[in-house]
């Protein structure tokens, strides 16, 4: 995934949220402005070039209160960023914002 392209599209407001992303952002109390802010300074955590729905990636960014936000996104055929899901990483799945928790 081209992170510079994603950030450029976010900066230009060329993005949309899936229904699932809308539901998850509401569950975690994440505002659209916070998603945008997190994406503008995001780092790539995981790249999924072979995803069956099309290439996507997991990005980590932070809102104004330094709250970590994970965003899984891809690009549609018009290079609009599609936010597939968004959430605040937490236990038990995440040990910290950058490291998955290994459950045995």
- State the pLDDT confidence band at 12, using cuts at 50, 70 and 90: very high
Judge whether residue 20 has pLDDT over 70: yes
Within a 13 Å sphere around the CA of 30, how many CA atoms are in the beta-carbon half?
29
Judge whether residue 82 has pLDDT over 90: yes
- The domain spans of the chain are 3-100
Maximal C-alpha separation, the chain: 43
Judge whether residue 93 has pLDDT over 60: yes
Judge whether residue 97 has pLDDT over 70: yes
Q: Give the pLDDT mean for 77-95.
A: 94
What Å distances lie between residue 7 and 22, 29, 70, 73, 86, CA to CA? 20, 22, 15, 11, 16
pLDDT given for residue 8 in this prediction: 96
25, burial (CB in 10 Å: exposed 0-12, middle 13-18, buried 19+): buried
| Residue 37 Cα to chain centre, angstroms | 11
- Rg (C-alpha) for the chain, rounded Å, is 13
pLDDT given for residue 67 in this prediction: 96
Judge whether residue 69 has pLDDT over 90: yes
């Amino acid at each position: 995934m081209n992170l510079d392209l994603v950030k450029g599209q976010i900066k230009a407001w060329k993005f949309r949220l899936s229904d699932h992303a809308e539901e998850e952002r509401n569950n975690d109390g994440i505002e659209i402005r916070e998603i945008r802010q997190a994406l503008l300074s995001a780092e790539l955590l995981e790249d999924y070039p072979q995803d069956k729905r099309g290439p996507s990636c997991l990005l980590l960014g932070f809102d104004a209160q330094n709250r970590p936000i994970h965003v899984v996104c891809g690009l549609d055929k018009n290079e609009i960023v599609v936010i597939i899901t968004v959430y605040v990483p937490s236990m038990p799945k995440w040990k910290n914002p950058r490291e998955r928790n290994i459950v045995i």
